[in-house]
Structure 1
Amino acid sequence: MRRVRHEVNGGPEVLFVEEAPVPEPGPGELLVRAEAIGVTLPAVRKVRGGDGPGPLGGEVAGTVAAVGEGVTDFSVGDRVTGLCFSHAYAELALIHRTMASRVPDRASAVEAVALVRSGLVALGAHAAGRPRPGESVLVTAAAGAVGTLALQYARASGASRVVAAVGSADKGEFVRSLGADEVVIYGNGEEERGGAWGDPVDVVLDGVGGKLLGPAVRALTPGGRLVAFSSGGGTIDAYELLVRGASAIGFQMAALARNEPGVYAHRIGELWELHRDRALRPRVFAEIPLVEAARAHEVIESRRNLGKVVLIP
């Protein structure tokens, strides 16, 4: 089978295609013949500046080709999606049964990888911020795969005002079409000099991290909540929280799946219900052949994508 990996850290040019043996599913694992593979920012960051070469994980959707020992809740032929923590950029990938969920007949594999992982992050971050109906919500990286779903979910959940923060003005019309009332721009340095992002908000859902955490805290109302779910790291000034009586909360989807499997499963069901009712409409920016994974990474690094970037084996 074909798979993509990288040898040294650097830009997307270090990704290459190789022939590899078909993996054998171990206990509790599914072997999935991939039909769509979601490209995630953590995978892109791993290639750009990780600790060394290694498998590229990500979300995979396709058909179960084989099951490992002890798997009784999935069978060969089932359509599934889930997170692969080994080689996701491959024609066949291993997913542990606890990370897998069924794909409804009405949905395509591309829709599944655009909806489930990103939607779980969006719903989980929203729940961590505890916005009440009538409160205001600001979403950073609002034109990305998670951000597009977080905007829609905030609107569907009764936010009085939804603000989209994006890296360039040309994304404004797109995020407004998803339910944003206002659009603010970051990346021009103004926010780092203390520039305001308009009227304060009750909740900030931040998928960027780094230098944007300071402005995100300063955008909060008294008693506001910042939810940090980015893999980008960063530092929060405790004094900025103190003077606002604000809170900073971290959210990681993998930790939710590991520690609260019942909540994890419930949210997957909620995602598909919202998708069925068209309250959540995942946006796919590009479908790119697996062998051109380097191009997919370049799209995300350049911040051109409006929604999800998907690899097609």
Structure 2
Amino acid sequence: MRYVKILRPGGPEVLEVDRMPLPEPGQGEVLIKVAAAGVNRPDVFQRMGSYPPPPGASDVPGLEVAGEVVRLGQGVASPALGEHVCALVASGGYAEYCIAPAVQVLPVPKGWRDLDASGLPETFFTVWTNVFERGGLKRGERLLVHGGTSGIGVTAIQLAAAMGAEVYATAGSAEKARTCEELGARRGIDYRSEDFVAVVKEATGGKGVDVILDMVGGAYVPRNLEAAAIDGRIVQIAWLQGSRIEADFTKLMVKRLTWTGSTLRARPVEEKGRIAQALRTQVWPLLEGGRIKPVVHATLPLEQAAEAHRLMESSVHVGKILLVP
């Protein structure tokens, strides 16, 4: 099969299509013929050499795929052969075929194409576990999403709005801020010309927001402490502006805040399987009912993986970038 190889740590130019033997599913695994694979920020970090796959996992990049189940490993009762599915994987998505643990596989939602479903797993697993489990977002509460037009941001806005939360989102232009509003945010905030703390405070009558989903870090950390409401929860999922910070954390105590964070890739398969079941029960009906829609910025052939990474790093995209074998 064809797959994308990382020749060495470096820029997008180190991605190259090569050939390798077809992988064989092991105990509890399935083999998926890939219709499309999602491109995500962690793939960029892996390419640069700063986010290696877990021990024992393939070094082929790619954290999510959709396609047809063509082979079952021992002990797999579901999904069935021939079923069209999407899956979260630890690696291996940039290829014509991909191995996935069966418990991390979900059916393609009714009414969705395989192509669109390939962009679901990584962002929905991440948003569900961080915003709703760790952050404890409830109906009627307020959520602030940083990076509102990223894959994670688009998912967080739509899912939180569909679950009855009031959403605010930052983005890098006035146009992108309006896109956030079209996706369900009450207010999109152009972080280049507006202070998100001031906007949130004004919009909430000085109360602030209950949950903040932050992938930026750096200078955003002290400002998140300002924007958070009493008993608020700040959930950190990345550090695009750096993880070494200096801030006055008095407000953490005064406001009784919770500041937490997580990564997803290295979690045990059983834990990811539990998240998959929660998504199937709580979220898949929203997808199948049209409450949440796919947002795909670009679809590129596997041979243009380098271009897909350049696009990801440019941050001009809105929603998902997909690779098609």
TM-score by length of 1: 0.89
* Partner residue in 1 for 2:161: 155
Secondary structure at 1:125 match in 2: helix
Alignment of 1:1-313 (within 5 A): 1-50=1-50, 54-127=59-132, 128-159=134-165, 161-186=166-191, 196-199=198-201, 200-230=208-238, 232=240, 234-235=243-244, 237=247, 238-254=249-265, 255=267, 258-259=270-271, 261-313=273-325
1:263–1:66 distance in 2 versus 1, CA, 3 Å = closer
TM-aligned CA deviation for residue 59 of structure 1: 0.2
1:235–1:157 distance in 2 versus 1, CA, 3 Å = farther
Question: Matches of 1:269 and 1:2 in 2, distance apart?
Answer: 35
Gapped regions of structure 1 (runs ≥ 5): none
Question: Matches of 1:227 and 1:51 in 2, distance apart?
Answer: 20
Q: Which amino acid aligns with 2:107?
A: R
1:60–1:231 distance in 2 versus 1, CA, 3 Å = farther
- For residues 81-108 of structure 1, give each alpha carbon's deviation from its aligned partner in whole angstroms, at most 9, with x where no partner exists: 1122232110011111122122245321
TM-aligned CA deviation for residue 282 of structure 1: 2.3
- For residues 112-135 of structure 1, give each alpha carbon's deviation from its aligned partner in whole angstroms, at most 9, with x where no partner exists: 122333123222222122234332
TM-aligned CA deviation for residue 253 of structure 1: 4.2
Secondary structure at 1:297 match in 2: helix
TM-aligned CA deviation for residue 300 of structure 1: 0.9
8 Å contact from structure 2 (residues 162, 286) kept in 1: no
Question: Matches of 1:14 and 1:134 in 2, distance apart?
Answer: 46
Stretch deviating more after TM superposition (194-203 or 148-157): 194-203
1:65–1:134 distance in 2 versus 1, CA, 3 Å = closer
Q: Which amino acid aligns with 2:295?
A: R
Q: Which amino acid aligns with 2:145?
A: V
TM-aligned CA deviation for residue 250 of structure 1: 1.8
TM-aligned CA deviation for residue 5 of structure 1: 1.5
Stretch deviating more after TM superposition (59-68 or 228-237): 228-237
Secondary structure at 2:216 match in 1: coil
TM-aligned CA deviation for residue 139 of structure 1: 0.6
1:201–1:195 distance in 2 versus 1, CA, 3 Å = closer
Q: How high is the sequence identity, in percent, across the aligned residues?
A: 33
Secondary structure at 2:305 match in 1: helix
TM-aligned CA deviation for residue 257 of structure 1: 5.8
Gapped regions of structure 2 (runs ≥ 5): 54-58, 202-207
TM-aligned CA deviation for residue 283 of structure 1: 0.6
TM-aligned CA deviation for residue 198 of structure 1: 3.6
8 Å contact from structure 1 (residues 120, 268) kept in 2: no
Q: Which amino acid aligns with 2:35?
A: E
Q: Which amino acid aligns with 2:260?
A: I
* Partner residue in 1 for 2:56: none
Question: Matches of 1:198 and 1:210 in 2, distance apart?
Answer: 19
1:284–1:59 distance in 2 versus 1, CA, 3 Å = same
Secondary structure at 1:35 match in 2: strand
| RMSD of aligned alpha carbons | 2.5
Question: Matches of 2:301 and 2:82 in 1, distance apart?
Answer: 23
1:104–1:143 distance in 2 versus 1, CA, 3 Å = closer
1:282–1:251 distance in 2 versus 1, CA, 3 Å = farther
TM-aligned CA deviation for residue 256 of structure 1: 8.1
8 Å contact from structure 1 (residues 213, 235) kept in 2: no
Question: Matches of 1:211 and 1:73 in 2, distance apart?
Answer: 46
Stretch deviating more after TM superposition (106-115 or 230-239): 230-239
TM-aligned CA deviation for residue 222 of structure 1: 2.3
8 Å contact from structure 1 (residues 36, 312) kept in 2: yes
8 Å contact from structure 2 (residues 30, 72) kept in 1: yes
Length, aligned pairs only: 309
